[in-house]
Amino acid sequence: MDKALELADDMESGMFNDANYNKKKAATMLRQQQAEYYSLLVNHDKLYAKVIEQQAEIEALKAKTLTDEEIKKVWQANLAVMGNDLDFARAILKKATNG
């Protein structure tokens, strides 16, 4: 059981007579809450870093978007060797990822 809830239950039930018992329980509760807070903080930082990383990936993909003119040039340059639309799509992707 969570130490904070246990301490609250003891307070409500009138078991708050032994001062040493209550100090130890309160100290344990505070340490547990601090550990949980730290864990949440670390996880928040990890999630924030992941969001920043994904935003950078999205921006990189946006930068690789070809203009209509670039697509036409790829199409014209590969017209003789492209057998179907899939070959054209591959050529476009290759141009977008390799420049």
The domain locations on the chain are 1-63, 65-99
pLDDT at 1 over 60: no
pLDDT per position as a tens digit, 5-41: 777 777 777 666 666 667 777 788 888 888 888 888 8
The Cα–Cα gap between 60 and 26 comes to: 51
Report field, pTM of the whole predicted structure over 0.85: no
Report the candidate in 28, 34, 31, 37 with the shortest Cα–Cα distance to residue 10: 28
